[in-house]
Amino acid sequence: MAQSSAIHVKGIGKRFGSFVALSQVDLDIRAGELVALLGPSGSGKTTLLRIIAGLEWPDQGELLLNSDNALRRGVRERQIGFVFQHYALFRHMSVLENVAFGLRVMPRRRRPGDAEIRSRVQRLLELVQIGHLGDRYPSQLSGGERQRVALARALAIEPAVLLLDEPFGALDAKVRKDLRRWLRQLHDRLCMTTVFVTHDQEEALELADRVVVLGHGRIEQVGTPEEVYGAPRNPFVFDFLGQVNRVRCQVRGGRPLVPYAHIEQMNGDGAQDGPGTLYVRPHDVVLQRDPAGPATVRFVGVVGPVVRLEVEVIMGAPVLEAEMPHHVYAGYRFTAGDRVSVRFRAATLFSDVAGEQLLSPADLSLTSAAL
């Protein structure tokens, strides 16, 4: 394989007419890193990927591949392999011919000989575990197999960077899960700089070394999966990554006034006095049976490994969602109608910013239930 490239994005901006698709994006990706671009629809993920690829040009900013100014180079010169959601395989070509395509169209001085192409293609098919499918045509393959062919084809040119745009988006949940684990293993073997776009938080957190959370054309946070999930920097990232209870409250002396819950660990510094919002993950909501408690259990869902409860706080506060492992629930056996006390194991406080745009729960992907 060719040497992997580091990618440096500096101050990149891109407009489509008057619409700002990317604004002042700075990002450094190390050679050999596996990075996810994660964000809601329209946040600019694909635009950034296309700029790195050379399929789109920014209005401002710089892009370096290692120390080379990539904006001076066309798509072909950047040594980049792509895989897109809709496996754009050539239907009239066999799997072998599809994978060989990138090699056959290389300039003559770089093009390997026929025998070398054949053996390289076979090695790649073995690598993506479809060595027995070389003579088939795309219409004779499953979706997961086609995506493996697309990957083998991208790898054939020995790219310095591999870019994947929702590579598994069109596949069903089970195949998708298998393929992403396999992609992680493949990446660990090849150590190639890889950037993939997804709007699926679980996919990003499970697969990537680092996750870049994009919103409205800006980078909201960059960090390891633990960092972005465990310590979201702002309400946008909190809302986007995982289920969360949002508790409106007043802030006094930097502390939230939430009369019905004891808060064990408060995160988030510097909330101003005035209106604020407390963010609490469902697994940090702890319930105790208490006949004099301020809340009532309204719903208990016991299907699956995690039990999900909804709790209504007396005095009209919104319903809180709590989650606990089955074995913990077995010790309590809450049922609808039980009065309970409420404790927040950890909560994060942000001041409400005038005009701030929060996602509605309907915007949130429910895949977080598994987290």
Ligand X SMILES: Nc1ncnc2c1ncn2[C@@H]1O[C@H](COP(=O)(O)OP(=O)(O)OP(=O)(O)O)[C@@H](O)[C@H]1O
Binding site for ligand X (CB under 6 A): 16, 19, 21, 39, 41-47, 199
Q: How far apart are CB 239 and ligand X at their closest, in Å?
A: 16
Q: How far apart are CB 42 and ligand X at their closest, in Å?
A: 4
Q: Per the structure block, which two tokens stand in for 16? A: 């489509």
124 vs 214 by CB, closer to ligand X: 214
Helix/strand/coil for 160: coil
Q: Per the structure block, which two tokens stand in for 243? A: 């289920």
218 vs 345 by CB, closer to ligand X: 218
Q: How far apart are CB 190 and ligand X at their closest, in Å?
A: 25
Q: How far apart are CB 40 and ligand X at their closest, in Å?
A: 7
Strand partners, 295: 313, 340
Q: How far apart are CB 197 and ligand X at their closest, in Å?
A: 6
Helix/strand/coil for 27: strand
Identify the residue whose tokens are 């609808």: 336
Specify whether the CB–CB gap between 44 and 72 falls below 8 A.
Answer: no
First-residue to last-residue Cα distance in the chain? 35
45 vs 78 by CB, closer to ligand X: 45
216 vs 255 by CB, closer to ligand X: 216
Strands 295-301 and 218-223: unpaired
21 vs 160 by CB, closer to ligand X: 21
Q: How far apart are CB 39 and ligand X at their closest, in Å?
A: 5
Specify whether the CB–CB gap between 160 and 4 falls below 8 A.
Answer: yes
Helix/strand/coil for 266: strand
Q: Per the structure block, which two tokens stand in for 224? A: 């390891």
37 vs 295 by CB, closer to ligand X: 37
